Structure 1
Amino acid sequence: MSVLALVAAQAGLAQAAPEGTFTVAVHQEPQDLAAQGVYKEINAPGLRNVLETLIATDPETGEYIPVLATAWERVDDRTVRLTLREGVTFHDGTEMTAEAVATNISFIWSPDSAFTIQEYAGPGVITARATGPLQVEVSSTEPDPMMEFRLTLTGIASARQIEENPAEHFGTPIGTGPYRFEEWARGQYWTASANPDWWGLTAEDAYGETTQQFETLRFVFRPEGSARNAMVRTGEADLATNPSPEDCAAAEGNDGYSCITGPSDAYLYGRLDQSLHAHPALQDMRVRKAIFHALDYEGIADLIGLASVPQGQLGTPDMLGFNDSLSQYEYNPDLSRQLLDEARADGVDVDGLVVEVVGRNTTPRVGSVTEVIGFFLEQVGINTQINVQLPDVFNPRVRIKGYAEEAPRAMMQVHVKQNASGEFGTNLLGNYACPDIDDPSGASRSSVHCNPEFDEKLAKALTLSGEERDAALQELVGFLHGQYPILPLALLDKGYLIGDGYDFTFGVDHRFLAVNVTRAD
């Protein structure tokens, strides 16, 4: 008998059994289902229903809340001590111990594992150790004021699986969550079933709705927006991600489904090569500046829909390090032509430059956005090539190893990025720190910027906290604004089409958790 059934029987209560399937039409198949994947919803939609974190961010308040840890405290500027929840078991029946949690954390954050979560790594290497049966200390080799945030990204999986069958870990997740993994039909869907032994069914401090409503969760992969929307319209799906503004407008007044939207921590950017492996013409600031001023940012935001023009930086005013003195780059094609003429006169091979504007096909409206960027650049005299690629082709190309294989190259990567940290430190480390060709697993593996002075100041800023950190990050954001390495194209709201009869609560990180879905009255 499950824990839930036993408690209900002892209390003389009838517990309603979960029933039915809740189907979500998502725009991307998971890259994998490893524990590290819970850090980024777009890479592994729905995975947090199976794999839980130690702490999480409340979708309504934005505050840190307990999940597998019931309490945490700072030991010093490098270490956080956590008290773990008692009586939690993994879906394979093994106990969640401090040793198991420590194994997970060290495995996930190890540079040797080379997981994509390294884009959210801090200034040091993170490791963990058990200091008691239910006590874990997580430490960084460098001072890290953002350690608690990084723990909200760290999925906890069965240590037995990681140690005995690590290859299976990537496609068969074993967690502690309210749903157990069932099947991944590659190219089609993945499913999970209700976990009758989930600790949250009886805990007073569980997150979300603690009465399980659905017997099965089903995540169907549909990169085409029209296909996702059709599934909700016909009742084949209960929720669809990333509808267009037109889709939301069409939902108004319709019976059967509606559109819900909200702000997000995501933005669209154009990451322009400026690394040591870039085409020589892109290392000339006048050429980069010409590219930035060639674009109509208002027009791009209107094209995307559910988007706004950023203030010249990859973030919002509520973020620590936001530089309010900056403004978005001016749309000034005449200035762009003037700058290119000056560069030509000085011998820069502007006419031999062909900028590849490339995006991943799972990015909403990426085809239209890359085409319009190409149009604007061609209008000022910059040759372009438009390319939209599948994730398994695109992803390796935008990491440092791919740079070297194609060097010298001229690429603008049009891509969606999330920043759930509420500050610019993680953003700057992942996007702007100088990449190391000999360390393709590092936090800056996708950076196209290289400036030793910037790196030195960033390393210091990441060890600061409070007002000092804010001021140091603002200075770095201002410096980057004048270097023209990455185009902040749009700040993105996100939306969903949802079937009538359901309410869905989500935060700016837009995590899909079934415990945040309730049946409407």
Structure 2
Amino acid sequence: MKQSTLLAGVLLATSALSPAFAQEANVTIVLGEEPDLVEPCMATRSNIGRIVLGNISETLTELDVRGDEGLKPRLAESWEMVDDTTWRFHLREGVTFSDGTAFDAADVKHSFERAGSDQITCEISRYYEGIDITPSVVDDLTIDFKTDPAQPILPLLLSLLTIVPSETPIEFTREPVGTGPYVLSDWEPGQSITLERREDYWGEQPAVTKATYAFRTDPSVRAAMVATGEADIAPSISAIDATTDMDMAYPNSETTYLRVDSAMAPLNDIRVRKALNLAIDREAFIGTILAEGTQVATAINVPTTLGWNPDTKAWDYDVDAAKALLEEAKADGVPVDSEILLVGRTGNFPGATETYEAIQSMLSEAGFNVRLQMVEVAEHEQYYSKPYVQDQPVLVGAQHDNSRGDPVFSMYFKYHSDGRQSGIDDSRADELIEKATAATGDEREALWSDLFGYLHDEVVADVLLFHMVGHARVGEAVDFTPTIATNSQLQLAEIGVK
């Protein structure tokens, strides 16, 4: 984007109260991470989803995070089970993509198959790992999904499937075509991304006509941009900066943790994994680097998730116990002195670098040989998803978002032996995941609860850290309230212009 164009957009955004700009509702949103892609099938990655999901690309169903409607129609108007393993979806008529082509069942089928293709590595597909799902077109506006095993919550699972035209090639795109209310009109790498409202959108027109996304890694800079009127919304600022009446705290659904690759020594020894957990003073972060209200985590999902196990207790902070475990393992020949690489994602959350620096210090004090490496999101992926970098033992610092309330959105790809981001190979965990995924009602809840306890207490699968609290700064020219989903999705239609 040329500087003059960007300046004009900023002036419009900061003059939204003026009658002269009443017909042009332009906003500027400042984010901590620039997306490396604007590919719809990658929209479950937070830095991409905040721009793409619900704005450029839409899904069949949508979870109501602002009210109590539960699962709502979006591109599908209704759905029902036709037998124990088949769901039928009835699609919305009269919907068009931004390229003018009509939306139909063939697009849904192609979108699902494209997301799962081994020719590209789509983030969305990880949520369907371990389930055999076969879409089949019934007619232009009807599609069936047959599953093995049975999937009682398939309509909820499909709330993540972004729909693209059937002509979309099986390769990543820089020019996404969707059915959403906005189109990507400009992308200047390193500077900004601009979305403009579609006048031919099938649904209700949002108030925002144009959105410019700016990218600043420093949360204090993001907060200052809103304070000075250079931006309208900073959905993620630090707790330290959240001191004005423009700032809002909100419980998000992110869990911060260290993923342990237990296939490599010394991390393949449970005593070493226990020592990692004992060496970190989690409480010391709360109210200092991280916000008051942050909770110490005992599971990869937040406490409101189905099956969350209240009997699972957080690890004590005990450096002496950690040292003793390392000495015991060393006496048995475990190479506890090996260098362990701690990889953190720059800008993943406010205070990320400071958090991982403190963790490195705590682990070093307990006797670990840890080297910290902070990386951008694209490089982070090579450590976070298989095939892993295997030249040395690695701890991957990451956040996991599950705002949909069921562990099925987490457990297979995080903990199953074949999961794309799993650091363990455990037959009991595999069995619990497979049974819970197909179960319903009380049985489903009990199985997930058993799994949470087993992973934490008996496998010691990872180093769980925190359930996070988010802070957003919202300028006076707009009306916006963050939700549990704001860290992963920010629909422009939810923004009002005063």
**One of 50, 60, 64 as aligned partner of 2:66:** 60
Name the residue aligned to 2:257.
269
Q: CA deviation at 1:415?
A: 0.8
Q: CA deviation at 1:419?
A: 1.1
Q: 2:90, 2:33 → 1: CA distance?
A: 35
Alpha-carbon contact 1:310-1:316 (below 8 Å) kept: no
Name the residue aligned to 1:328.
314
| Residues paired across the two proteins, number | 471
Q: Secondary structure at the match of 1:173?
A: coil
Q: 1:195, 1:43 → 2: CA distance?
A: 20
Q: CA deviation at 1:501?
A: 2.9
1:50-89 maps to which residues of 2 (within 5 A)? 50-61=56-67, 63-89=70-96
Name the residue aligned to 1:515.
493
Name the residue aligned to 1:468.
443
Q: Which amino acid aligns with 1:513?
A: Q
Q: CA deviation at 1:398?
A: 2.1
Q: 1:35, 1:80 → 2: CA distance?
A: 24
Alpha-carbon contact 1:18-1:214 (below 8 Å) kept: no
Q: 2:188, 2:124 → 1: CA distance?
A: 24
Q: Secondary structure at the match of 2:439?
A: coil
In structure 1, list runs of 5 or more residues that go unmatched. 1-15, 202-209, 253-257, 436-443
**One of 476, 480, 486 as aligned partner of 1:504:** 480
TM score, norm. by length of structure 1: 0.86
Q: 2:493, 2:63 → 1: CA distance?
A: 14
**One of 271, 278, 301 as aligned partner of 2:286:** 301
Q: Secondary structure at the match of 1:118?
A: helix
Q: 1:294, 1:141 → 2: CA distance?
A: 42
Q: Secondary structure at the match of 2:82?
A: strand
**One of 209, 228, 231 as aligned partner of 1:234:** 228
Q: 1:490, 1:110 → 2: CA distance?
A: 34
Compare 30-39 and 147-156 and name the one that shifted more. Answer: 30-39
Q: CA deviation at 1:489?
A: 0.5
Q: CA deviation at 1:17?
A: 8.0
Q: CA deviation at 1:72?
A: 1.2
**One of 38, 48, 54 as aligned partner of 1:43:** 48
- Does structure 1 residue 286 correspond to structure 2 residue 271? yes
Q: 2:441, 2:116 → 1: CA distance?
A: 25
4+ residue stretches of structure 1 with deviation over 4 A?
none
Name the residue aligned to 1:207.
none
* C-alpha distance 64-17 of structure 1, shift in aligned 2 (>3 A): farther
Alpha-carbon contact 2:297-2:467 (below 8 Å) kept: no
Determine what percentage of the aligned residue pairs are the same residue: 27
Q: 1:306, 1:106 → 2: CA distance?
A: 43
**One of 402, 408, 415 as aligned partner of 1:419:** 402
Q: Which amino acid aligns with 2:193?
A: W
Q: 1:153, 1:216 → 2: CA distance?
A: 25
1:59-458 maps to which residues of 2 (within 5 A)? 59-61=65-67, 63-160=70-167, 162-163=168-169, 166-167=170-171, 170-201=173-204, 210=205, 212-249=206-243, 251-252=244-245, 258-275=246-263, 278=264, 280-302=265-287, 303-305=289-291, 307-350=293-336, 352-364=337-349, 365-404=351-390, 406=391, 409-435=392-418, 444-458=419-433
TM score, norm. by length of structure 2: 0.90
Q: Secondary structure at the match of 1:102?
A: helix
Q: CA deviation at 1:176?
A: 1.3
Alpha-carbon contact 2:346-2:352 (below 8 Å) kept: yes
**CA deviation profile, 1:415-448 (whole Å, cap 9, x unmatched):** 111113312233221211114xxxxxxxx22211
Name the residue aligned to 1:4.
none
* C-alpha distance 214-428 of structure 1, shift in aligned 2 (>3 A): closer
* C-alpha distance 220-90 of structure 1, shift in aligned 2 (>3 A): same
Name the residue aligned to 1:13.
none
Q: CA deviation at 1:122?
A: 4.4
* C-alpha distance 78-504 of structure 1, shift in aligned 2 (>3 A): farther
**CA deviation profile, 1:464-496 (whole Å, cap 9, x unmatched):** 111111111111111111222211111012221
Q: CA RMSD in A?
A: 2.0
Q: 1:78, 1:111 → 2: CA distance?
A: 25
- Does structure 1 residue 31 correspond to structure 2 residue 36? yes
**CA deviation profile, 1:104-138 (whole Å, cap 9, x unmatched):** 22222345543122332243133322212211112
